[in-house]
Amino acid sequence: MVILKMSRKKNLIVILIWMQVLLMLFVSTVYGGLGVKGATIEADVAPGEHFSQDIIVYLTETNSSVDILADVMGYGQPSQGGSFEIPPEDDRSNYTARPFLTVTPASFRLEPGQEQTLTVQGDIPSDVGAGGRYAIVNIHTKPIGNGTVGISLAINIPVRLGIVGTERIMTGEIEDISLEKPVSPIRQNATLEFKNTGNYHYQVKMDATMSNEEGTVLATVSQPVSYSPVLPTSARIIDFSFLPDKALVPGNYNIHASVTLEDGTPLASKEITFKV
């Protein structure tokens, strides 16, 4: 995730809408001249094992030198997907990896065209538990600018660790399906709220049908595999719309939605009825 921040005296305030791009392990991401190679850390680890992985931070040739700080933070997740950092004092997740991970060096200076290798490492606790453990490596520049307002660039690197030799529970439930009001006979806009009730992250896809009282399917919709996984205890909002061939006549209708894993394994399903 790439974030633009402002510093007003001692506080950093997010002033620009965050933007998340799904990036594989060895893909490079660049924003404002600040770049990272290894934009996602995903690995299997064993209890008692020492974990270590390098990432590379760099500046393009066109930028002036900057001072950079690196921290391990909690892994937050918006309902639309993606990630954001959670300060240590607010990181209360049972699935956090933050307490046993460090990143070094924690501060450094980069010149244009220069690279710096950072090492994310830690000893996996012997009693770490089952499923997955999660953290964010937050890399950000010191605020640049004069006066009380300065600009800081930041890149968040998700860390997703699977604990080997433990049960990975991938379950979930659809907490709600709601239809936009007033209900349109031409286009029906719906929102589904899904929650990961397991102990491991996964990506999801959704399929839904709309039928009349006789059970005749009038419209179908499919949402492709999510661009970011759903973390344990996190919720995901999925918006979708039905566009039947003909406008709905007055009567009762049914929506059936199902959420599955990427390979089609069922996770949850739910039905609602509505009236036009």
List, for residues 8-67, the tens digit of each pLDDT value.
333 332 322 233 333 333 334 444 578 898 889 999 999 999 999 999 999 887 668 889
pLDDT of residue 145: 58
Assess whether pLDDT exceeds 70 at residue 243.
yes
pTM attached to this predicted model: 0.83
List, for residues 156-184, the tens digit of each pLDDT value.
999 999 999 999 999 999 999 999 999 99
DSSP string, 45-87: E-TT-EEEEEEEEEE-TTSPPEEEEEEEEEEE--TTS--EEE-
Residue 209 structure tokens: 């049908």
SS (H, E, C) 129-181: CCCEEEEEEEEEECCECCCCEEEEEEEEEEEEEEECCCCCCCCEEEEEEEECC
Range(s) for CATH 2.60.40.10 in the chain? 2-163, 172-275
> Phi and psi of 15, rounded to 5°?
-120, -5
CATH architecture of the domain 172-275 equals Sandwich (2.60)
Instruction: State the CATH class of domain 2-163.
Output: mainly beta
DSSP string, 85-107: EE-GGG---TTB-GGG-EEE-SE
